[in-house]
Amino acid sequence: MNTAKPLVKGFFDERTFSIQYVVTDPQTKTCAIVDPVLDFDEKSGATATRNADAILGYIEEQGLKVEWILDTHPHADHFSAAQYLKDKTGAPTAIGEKVVEVQKLWKGIYNWPDFPADGSQWDKLFAEGETFTVGNFPAKVLLSPGHTLASVTYVIGDAAFVHDTLFMPDSGTARADFPGGSASQLYKSIVEILSLPDETRIFTGHDYQPDGREPLWESTVAEQKAKNTHITNHKTEVDFVRVREARDKTLAMPKLILHALQVNMNGGRLPEPEANGRRYLKLPLDALEGAAWDDQ
């Protein structure tokens, strides 16, 4: 891959601990948006576009043209703003082609027999190893399953957007116990990501601020290999899987997983309004058997 450095601007969402990105080629003034958040308050049922509008404000301020709106996977902890941003910018939306496997799985969980589980909700489904460009920067798609069936890594110039596969070195790696997840696949995905050149910048999609530190989201392959708490302490696949699976059994599900998947497997589209003009989410009961309870 080209070692040139795109300009990467991160936007941290305090409600979901998510980082959204604008990746820019300064020469052509074109950019890609990665993993944008649509605001949602589960207590009131309110939606808003504050995060997405902040991204749009930055793009306008910098005089940029949006070339892509990219999601790394169907998120379980926030709504995707991909469709909202497409409506505002006209840019195509994209995700990895394995999203159809997630759609098929969750179509059954939500009992949506008429839901089109074919990926048609996005303009582009990327295959493993497929290449594209952001301005003059070459970009490549790595299939990175484990956290979800559909997770991908976007390598744009020297920047790899790994979302939930790797966290900052002091926070380790992502959970792998969602429907379709696999700790063994997660380990293999991490090995592939860490086989990129040491100077490759790693941009993660969440930061939970351990010990109350300020949010961070940029590291390098070299830093991850040297300091990641899960990688350095559990060097074999067997050991990693054992520790990852034991840890996952103690974790409560994300509070928005049942809210978010029905939106995100539909390309970030909210449910259509019903006869009274209101939109309704559908929450299946007892669908995620065995999940730890959150006693907070």
At 296 the pLDDT is 58
Q: What is the CA radius of gyration of the chain?
A: 18
The larger pLDDT score, comparing residue 290 to residue 46, is at 46
The residue-averaged pLDDT of 161-178 equals: 94
pLDDT over 70 at 248, yes or no: yes
Out of 3.40.50.10490, 3.60.20.10, 3.65.10.10, 3.60.15.10, the CATH code matching 7-264 is 3.60.15.10
Q: How confident is the model at residue 3 (pLDDT cuts 50, 70, 90)?
A: low
pLDDT over 90 at 47, yes or no: yes
**Using an 8 Å Cβ cutoff, are 81 and 49 in contact?**
yes
pLDDT in tens, 122-143: 999 999 999 999 999 999 999 9
pLDDT over 50 at 1, yes or no: no
Q: Which of 47, 49, 46, 88 is nearest to 66 (CA)?
A: 88
The residue-averaged pLDDT of 178-183 equals: 92
The residue-averaged pLDDT of 145-158 equals: 96
3-state secondary structure the chain: CCCCCCEEEEEEECCCCEEEEEEEECCCCEEEEECCEEEEECCCCEEECHHHHHHHHHHHHHCCEEEEEECCCCCCCCEECHHHHHHHHCCCEEEECCHHHHHHHHHHHHCCCCCCCCCCCCCEEECCCCEEEECCEEEEEEECCCCCCCCEEEEECCEEEEECCECCCCCCECCCCCCCCCHHHHHHHHHHHCCCCCCCEEEECECCCHHHCCCCCEEEHHHHHHHCHHHHHCCCHHHHHHHHHHHHCCCECCCCHHHHHHHHCCCCCCCCCCCCCCCCCCCCCCCCCCCECCCC
pTM score, whole prediction: 0.95
For the chain, the structural domain boundaries read: 7-264
**Using an 8 Å Cβ cutoff, are 106 and 179 in contact?**
yes
pLDDT over 60 at 44, yes or no: yes
pLDDT in tens, 198-234: 999 999 999 999 999 999 999 999 999 999 999 999 9
At 2 the pLDDT is 45
The residue-averaged pLDDT of 274-286 equals: 96
